[in-house]
Amino acid sequence: MIICLKTTPNQTMDQIKTSLRKWGVDTKKWFGHGHFSDYVMKKGFAYSTGKENRKEIFSLTSKGLLEYDSIKEKFNL
C-alpha cells in the first residue's frame, strides 16, 4: 500500500485498489479487514489530500515516506 502511494501520489481508493490488483494483491482481504483505515490511516502513514469527482484522494505523509524508505532498504528495492 505504501509503495503504491509512493509510486503514484494523490490516488482515490479505487485507483489504489486497481494498482494493487495489477500487482496481484488480494484487495478484498486488505480493504475488507480495515488494513487501510486501521493501519495506513490511523498510524499516520497516509492522509486525505482532498476530493476528486467526489472521491477522497490519498497521499503519503512524511511518516509514510520514511516508512517507504525503510521498506525500500529492507527489501533492496
Single-letter amino acid code for the residue at 48? S
Query: What is the pLDDT at residue 30?
Result: 76
This prediction's pTM: 0.84
Q: What is the pLDDT of residue 37?
A: 86
Fold of domain 2-74: Arc Repressor Mutant, subunit A (1.10.10)
| Amino acid, single-letter form, for residue 77 | L
Predicted confidence at residue 26, as pLDDT, reads 86
Within 13 Å of residue 30, how many CA atoms lie on the same side as its CB? 15
pLDDT of amino acid 1:
84
Residue spans per domain, the chain: 2-74
Where do the DSSP E strands lie in 1-77? 11-12, 46-52, 55-60
pLDDT in tens, 24-76: 988 887 787 778 888 899 999 999 999 989 999 999 999 999 999 999 999 98
pLDDT at 38: 85
Q: Is the Cβ–Cβ distance between 46 and 58 less than 8 Å?
A: yes
